[in-house]
Chains A and B, each alone.
Chain A
Amino acid sequence: MSYIEFKNVVKKYEMGEITINALNKASFQIEKGELVVIVGPSGAGKTTALNILGGMDSVTSGEVIVDNKRVDHLKSKRLIQYRREDIGFVFQFYNLVQNLTAKENVELATEICNDSLDPVKVLKKVGLKNRMDNFPAQLSGGEQQRVAIARAIAKNPKLLLCDEPTGALDYKTGKQILKLLQDTARKENMTVLIITHNAALAPMADKIISFKNGKAEDIRINKEPVSIEDIEW
């Protein structure tokens, strides 16, 4: 059994009279420590799949197993616990708490986790040694995303989910962020999922899942992933 099992997951949204099938029997597996890139056009169901995997959304049918644990039908409180202990999220727009300094933003996450990492160390790791006491508004986009990543990994999650982490960043900064994510996956042996619409990024991953019409149409395993630094797009 794989570390993550996504089996025949269906997600339907009822929008008035219309029903949208965001996920239509999507299935894929991810192994522990894999860096996975999920690609596909808008509306293909990438984010929905990520949200379900992150315990932020429920399934209509199908099974989601993370580390031998069914997470698709968890009760509200267990689901929160799952998010709290097992998941790290990185968003396109960072979603930092503006009123907290970089360090505090990380602390916000570590406060609630049991085996969290030292926020200062994590921030050093993401290269923000000198920016720790700055407020998000005082940081650049890339720096903010680093804080967001630091916040996510400081929880020491089983799964790091990143939804378009470079979407709001320039090329160079985006590259640095992806590098950080790749390094983290490698060094910490963390399972990382990155959603991107940029297919060019695929080579950096261990596994590439292509979404189309709510299905994981193509799952490719990249035997020799390349460092992001070597990818140009």
Chain B
Amino acid sequence: MKKALIKDTIKEIKNTHRRFISILLMAFLGVGFFAGIRASSPDMLDTIDKYFKDENVYDIEVVSTLGLTNEDIDELKKVDGVKDVYGTYAKDALIEVADTEAVAKIMCVEEVNKPSVVEGRLPENNNECVVEELFLKSTGKKIGDKITIEIEDTTDDNGDKISYLKEKEVEIVGTAKTPIYISRDKGTSKLGAGKVNYYIYINEENINAKDIYTEIYINTEDGNKYKTSTQEYEDYIAKIKENIEDIKNSREQARHDMLVEKAQEKLDEAQKTFDEQKADAEAQIAEAQKQIDDGKAELEKGEAEINKNRQKANSEFAQAQKQIDNAKSQIQSGESELNAKETEANEQMQSAQNSKAEIQSNLNMARDALAQVNANYNLINQQLKNLEGMQDAQSAKQRAELEQTRTVLENKKRELEENIAKAEAGITQIEQSIQNGKAELENAKQTLQNSKSQITAQENTLKKTKIDAYAKIQDAQTTLNIAKSELANGEAELEEKRQEVDEKLNDAEKELIDARDKIAQIENATWYILDRNTNQGYTSFIQDTKSVESIGVVFPIVFFVIATLISLTSMTRMVEEERTQIGTLKALGYTKIQVASKYLIYALSACLIGGTIGMFVGCNLLPRVIWMMYSMMYSIDIFVVKFNVIYSLIGLAAASICVVGATLYAVLKELKETPAILMRPKAPKNGKRVLLEKVPFIWKHLSFTRKVTVRNLFRYKKRFLMTIIGILGCTALIITGFGLKDSITAIIPNQFEKVFKYDMQISLKANLEEEQKNDLITELKDKNEIKDIVETNITAGNLINGNKEEEVQIIVPKDTNELENVISLNDRKSKENVKLNDNEIMITDKLAQLTGTKVGDTIKIKDSDDKTKEFKVSNIVENYVGHYVYMSKNLYEKNYEKYETNVLYVDDEDISQEQEDLLVKEIVDKNEISSVSPTSTVMSMIDDMMNSLNYVVIILIVSAGMLAFVVLYNLSNVNISERIRELATIKVLGFYDKEVYNYISRETIILTLIGIVLGCIAGYYLNVFILGTCEINALRFAKIVNPMSYVYSILITIIFTIIVNIVTYFSLKKIDMIESLKSVE
């Protein structure tokens, strides 16, 4: 390329920088949007892939109905392709905080599915735990606070109840995120309101019920070599799963056998203990019996002895008594003899006494006489004495007289004294004889007395001996009696004990029998070999990457097409403008390629610069924006933004090809002309009458300016089309954005209000007795909150039509008529209610679509045992979520086993959410019920998921708006530039700015209106198309666009149009008439 040309090109870019920028901008938008949106889905995938690899997330999960053991782990380790096997524990618990009860999934910190610490640290001790941030936020707890984990006791392998945890009260030591639950939704639980609210990590050591794992997580050897969710990954995992499937049966059997063995062992031991105990008890009873018997014999012996003793004592005592009686009678006779003697002695003594008394009285007389004599004597003595001193004769006569009398007296006295002595001697003699008699009697009496007292003593001794003897006998008797009653007690006790033991043994025996029964009843273990696709958070994330991908397929194309068309218009205009120069260059002898190269370089550089900026900005910005929106839904901190070289280059190349191609087309078209023609101004496009003019009725009634507008519209057909396409694209994109949301959100009410009218689905436990079920249903029906209950049987199966196969749920109502109360069976086409008959089945519409089934077709249904049966389809019914087959009870029983209710559909009365929560809480605890899922919960769960769609809508609206703006602005510029002379002319003619603007904008408005109308139609179909491409297998989108969405879309488009028109208004005002009308160069 010549220097001059290069210079010219650079100058050209400078001079027409607006055009250059507008092409650049189109390339920027086109490539940026294409690369950015396209890169978003892979970036999201890369992110989850990196996150899962970083946190060492499992590839395969194994759960079993009977728990898993270390042996299982060992066996799994041997499976081909399995690298690491981790057994772990997870269980739902109730956490009570601030008067509310929440359900938490209690998990253990493991090497697999590592939780990442957000704050604080991981638990190190048994009394520690980490929670998710949400928990702290919604409960107001802080790190350092304690919570109590209420967890149901678990049964160990021996069948004993043991506490699941060692420490129930744990301290929060940090917050963490887990790759297991990346979305807010954590699945269902049998506890509380039936939903897992939080997850909590504890130390594995805190698990008391060790070694019976609830889950086994497996990392495969090569799983990390593939990107998660890719086909390669899925295929690889499927292969490993198959390998595991190979040991499944044996492990299931082993687990069952192990439990049986343990139970048998325990039973045997119990039997042994029972037998031993029985023998023991029997021996004890026998011993006791023997003792009693011995006691009895002894008692009898004792009694005999006592009797003997008593008899002996009796006879001995009788003899002794007799002797005593003899002695007594002897004494009696002695006594009477003595008495006689005494009487005799007393008589003798009386006479002696009498003689004594006679003597005594003589004596006394003598004594009196003596006393008289003595007194006289003493008187004489006294007188004498008195005379002694007086020597007088009288005194001497007197004295002698006295002396005489005194001698007489002295004689008399001597006589008397002799008499007295004699009397006294007689008294003494009598007294002596009385004394003797008395002594003799006394002696006799004494002797008698002696013998009497001897007898008495003897008698007393006898009496005492007798009493003693009898007392002893009595004592012996008493002791014997006590022993007797004791023995009787003992006997009664023994009897009682015997009964007791019998009872106990009976009970024990019964228990043994029960235990035996239980062993027989130990279910077979069932292994579920799962992969990441059963992790709700992961699946919904992958699903979201898919929808982003789907958007990435269609939208950038719309963008691209429009951007290319606009660039084409711009470049064509440029070439046309430079026609003269092209002619000159050609005339000067430049080759076609050289001439064209300027424009190609111009276009290409704009395209490359714009595109390059676009791909960098797009690849970095759009995935981030999209991620920002999705990250609100998922708790993943990292985000991997990779510069997506392939998509970027594809976008850049495509944009370059389109723009350069368009330029080349425009240039070559011009270059075909000879220089002479080129150098002359291009004859302006000829005016032409439009078809409408041939309809004078309308044409005549149009004002002049309208006519002009109409004619102009048809004159610039390319621009006309471009504008319409631009507006159409914009409107369509916005409508699609809204429509996507409308369609997807409509699923919920469609499915859960229109089709599923029930409020609650209750799954019953397997193996319930008919009676239990009926009791439960009656009980539930009696509840005030419950209006109606419909019994159904739901089983899983596969519907096969030709080579197409889909998983389905087969719903068999107990009573076909009742089903209507909870599920509407409406024909897909006629929308009319249809009824099940006994020969045919009904299937849901999406299922019919996926399997290509039509009414009247015969399809096959494969049940879980891989048995297939053929059925004819009577109707295809409306449905939005999941795949269902409806079958009447009779048809079911004809083909399968007897009908058995396993799911209850519950229709509530009009109750509030709180009431419903309470009801759920109340019935979820029932033994017969395995799970309760209220429709409201399911709805809010899906609703949460749908919220992410708002972001999609925003992205679409913003990008569509940008597109619309650029398109309209560009077209408006082209329009002005193309018609600058015309515009300058009318300005010269004196059109006011507004009139000039109207002159142009009338066209724009009409084009915009046409664009909007067509856009609404296109939007509808684009929506349908996109929904079709990104529709999830199990969902049927309603493919509707709400009227309000049209209104919003139209308004948004109009707003963008207005903005562009304001810009246009000012550019029109700025048109320089003189410059524009200068003679054509």
Residues of chain A having any CB pair with chain B under 8 Å = 51, 54, 56-57, 76-77, 80-85, 87, 89, 91-93, 95-101, 104, 107-109, 111-113, 135-138, 151, 155, 167
Residues from chain A with Cβ under 8 Å of B687 in the complex: 97-101, 135-137
**Does residue B1025 face the partner (Cβ distance < 8 Å to A)?**
no
Q: How far is the CB of B693 from chain A (nearest CB, A)?
A: 10
Interface stretch, picked from B596-604, B805-813, B988-996, is B988-996
Closest 5 interchain pairs by CB?
A: A84-B990, A135-B687, A137-B686, A83-B990, A99-B687
Option from A56, A100, A112 in Cβ contact (under 8 Å) with B1073: A56
Are A108 and B989 interface neighbours, CB within 8 A? yes
Are B985 and A95 interface neighbours, CB within 8 A? yes
**Does residue B1074 face the partner (Cβ distance < 8 Å to A)?**
yes
Residues from chain A with Cβ under 8 Å of B684 in the complex: 98, 136-137
Can you list 11 A-B pairs, Cβ within 8 angstroms, ordered by A? A51-B1074, A81-B990, A96-B985, A97-B986, A98-B687, A98-B982, A99-B687, A99-B712, A100-B687, A111-B704, A112-B995
Residues from chain A with Cβ under 8 Å of B686 in the complex: 98, 135, 137-138
Are A112 and B1074 interface neighbours, CB within 8 A? no
Are A99 and B715 interface neighbours, CB within 8 A? yes
Residues from chain A with Cβ under 8 Å of B911 in the complex: none
A99 to B693: give the CA distance in the assembly, Å: 13
Given that A93-B1079, A99-B715, A108-B986 are contacting pairs, would A137 and B683 also be in contact in the complex, using a CB cutoff of 8 Å?
A: yes
A135 to B715: give the CA distance in the assembly, Å: 13
Q: How far is the CB of B937 from chain A (nearest CB, A)?
A: 66
Option from B981, B991, B992 in Cβ contact (under 8 Å) with A95: B981
Q: How far is the CB of B1072 from chain A (nearest CB, A)?
A: 9
Residues from chain B with Cβ under 8 Å of A96 in the complex: 985
A135 to B705: give the CA distance in the assembly, Å: 17
List residues 664-699 of chain B with CB under 8 A from any CB of chain A: 683-688
**Does residue B707 face the partner (Cβ distance < 8 Å to A)?**
yes
Are A83 and B1077 interface neighbours, CB within 8 A? no
**Does residue B708 face the partner (Cβ distance < 8 Å to A)?**
yes
Given that A51-B1074, A98-B684, A136-B687 are contacting pairs, would A104 and B707 also be in contact in the complex, using a CB cutoff of 8 Å?
A: yes
List residues 1035-1081 of chain B with CB under 8 A from any CB of chain A: 1073-1074, 1077, 1079-1080
Q: How far is the CB of B994 from chain A (nearest CB, A)?
A: 10
Residues from chain B with Cβ under 8 Å of A138 in the complex: 686
Q: How far is the CB of A59 from chain B (nearest CB, A)?
A: 14
Residues from chain B with Cβ under 8 Å of A108 in the complex: 704, 708, 986, 989
A56 to B993: give the CA distance in the assembly, Å: 14
Per-position binary interface string of chain B over residues 704-726, scored 1 when its CB falls under 8 Å from any chain A CB and 0 otherwise: 11011001100100000000000
A201 to B715: give the CA distance in the assembly, Å: 40
Residues from chain B with Cβ under 8 Å of A85 in the complex: 990
Option from B715, B981, B1074, B1079 in Cβ contact (under 8 Å) with A92: B1079
Are B981 and A80 interface neighbours, CB within 8 A? no
List residues 206-249 of chain B with CB under 8 A from any CB of chain A: none
A80 to B987: give the CA distance in the assembly, Å: 8
Are A99 and B991 interface neighbours, CB within 8 A? no
Residues from chain A with Cβ under 8 Å of B711 in the complex: 99-100
Residues from chain A with Cβ under 8 Å of B992 in the complex: 77, 80-81, 84
Are A109 and B989 interface neighbours, CB within 8 A? yes
Q: How far is the CB of A206 from chain B (nearest CB, A)?
A: 25
Residues from chain A with Cβ under 8 Å of B1074 in the complex: 51, 56-57
A169 to B179: give the CA distance in the assembly, Å: 84
A134 to B985: give the CA distance in the assembly, Å: 19
A111 to B708: give the CA distance in the assembly, Å: 12
A167 to B1079: give the CA distance in the assembly, Å: 10
Q: Which residue from chain A places its CB closest to the CB of B1073 in the assembled complex? A: A56
A87 to B711: give the CA distance in the assembly, Å: 27
Residues from chain A with Cβ under 8 Å of B990 in the complex: 80-85, 87, 112-113, 155
Q: Which residue from chain A places its CB closest to the CB of B999 in the assembled complex? A: A108
List residues 971-1027 of chain B with CB under 8 A from any CB of chain A: 981-982, 984-993, 995
Are B708 and A135 interface neighbours, CB within 8 A? no
List 9 additional contacts besides A97-B708, A101-B687, A112-B990; criterion CB under 8 Å: A76-B993, A87-B990, A98-B684, A99-B715, A99-B982, A107-B704, A112-B989, A112-B995, A137-B686
Residues from chain A with Cβ under 8 Å of B712 in the complex: 99
Q: How far is the CB of B533 from chain A (nearest CB, A)?
A: 64
Residues from chain B with Cβ under 8 Å of A113 in the complex: 990
Residues from chain A with Cβ under 8 Å of B986 in the complex: 97, 108
Residues from chain B with Cβ under 8 Å of A57 in the complex: 1074
Are A80 and B993 interface neighbours, CB within 8 A? yes
Are B683 and A104 interface neighbours, CB within 8 A? no
Q: Which residue from chain B places its CB closest to the CB of A86 in the assembled complex? A: B990
A108 to B986: give the CA distance in the assembly, Å: 8
Residues from chain A with Cβ under 8 Å of B704 in the complex: 104, 107-108, 111
Q: Which residue from chain A places its CB closest to the CB of B686 in the assembled complex? A: A137
Q: Which residue from chain B places its CB closest to the CB of A92 in the assembled complex? A: B1079
Q: How far is the CB of A23 from chain B (nearest CB, A)?
A: 13
Q: How far is the CB of A41 from chain B (nearest CB, A)?
A: 16
Are A135 and B985 interface neighbours, CB within 8 A? no
Residues from chain B with Cβ under 8 Å of A51 in the complex: 1074
Given that A100-B708, A135-B686, A137-B686 are contacting pairs, would A112 and B988 also be in contact in the complex, using a CB cutoff of 8 Å?
A: no
A51 to B984: give the CA distance in the assembly, Å: 13
A111 to B992: give the CA distance in the assembly, Å: 12
Residues from chain B with Cβ under 8 Å of A84 in the complex: 989-992
Q: Which residue from chain A places its CB closest to the CB of B990 in the assembled complex? A: A84
Q: How far is the CB of B354 from chain A (nearest CB, A)?
A: 202
A95 to B980: give the CA distance in the assembly, Å: 11
Are A56 and B988 interface neighbours, CB within 8 A? yes
Q: How far is the CB of B54 from chain A (nearest CB, A)?
A: 62
A122 to B692: give the CA distance in the assembly, Å: 27
Q: How far is the CB of A91 from chain B (nearest CB, A)?
A: 6
A203 to B485: give the CA distance in the assembly, Å: 174
Q: How far is the CB of B975 from chain A (nearest CB, A)?
A: 13
Residues from chain A with Cβ under 8 Å of B987 in the complex: 80
Q: Which residue from chain B places its CB closest to the CB of A168 in the assembled complex? A: B1079
A208 to B1049: give the CA distance in the assembly, Å: 64
Given that A84-B990, A111-B705 are contacting pairs, would A95 and B685 also be in contact in the complex, using a CB cutoff of 8 Å?
A: no
Q: Which residue from chain A places its CB closest to the CB of B683 in the assembled complex? A: A137
Are B989 and A83 interface neighbours, CB within 8 A? yes
A54 to B992: give the CA distance in the assembly, Å: 15
Q: Which residue from chain A places its CB closest to the CB of B707 in the assembled complex? A: A104
A107 to B711: give the CA distance in the assembly, Å: 15
Q: How far is the CB of B5 from chain A (nearest CB, A)?
A: 24
Residues from chain B with Cβ under 8 Å of A95 in the complex: 981, 984-985, 988, 1077
Q: Which residue from chain A places its CB closest to the CB of B716 in the assembled complex? A: A99
Are A97 and B982 interface neighbours, CB within 8 A? yes
Q: Which residue from chain A places its CB closest to the CB of B992 in the assembled complex? A: A80
A136 to B982: give the CA distance in the assembly, Å: 13
A136 to B1079: give the CA distance in the assembly, Å: 18
Given that A92-B1079, A93-B1079, A135-B688 are contacting pairs, would A54 and B708 also be in contact in the complex, using a CB cutoff of 8 Å?
A: no
A178 to B633: give the CA distance in the assembly, Å: 80
Q: How far is the CB of A95 from chain B (nearest CB, A)?
A: 4
Q: How far is the CB of B1075 from chain A (nearest CB, A)?
A: 10
Are A98 and B685 interface neighbours, CB within 8 A? yes
Q: How far is the CB of B948 from chain A (nearest CB, A)?
A: 51
Most chain B beta-carbon neighbours within 10 Å: one of A51, A84, A95:
A95
Residues from chain B with Cβ under 8 Å of A167 in the complex: 1079
A54 to B984: give the CA distance in the assembly, Å: 13
Residues from chain A with Cβ under 8 Å of B1073 in the complex: 56
Residues from chain A with Cβ under 8 Å of B984 in the complex: 95
Q: How far is the CB of B946 from chain A (nearest CB, A)?
A: 52
Residues from chain B with Cβ under 8 Å of A112 in the complex: 989-991, 995
A193 to B526: give the CA distance in the assembly, Å: 106
Q: Which residue from chain B places its CB closest to the CB of A138 in the assembled complex? A: B686
Given that A91-B1077, A104-B704, A137-B687 are contacting pairs, would A97 and B991 also be in contact in the complex, using a CB cutoff of 8 Å?
A: no
Q: How far is the CB of A53 from chain B (nearest CB, A)?
A: 13
Q: How far is the CB of B718 from chain A (nearest CB, A)?
A: 15
Q: How far is the CB of B579 from chain A (nearest CB, A)?
A: 16
Residues from chain B with Cβ under 8 Å of A155 in the complex: 989-990
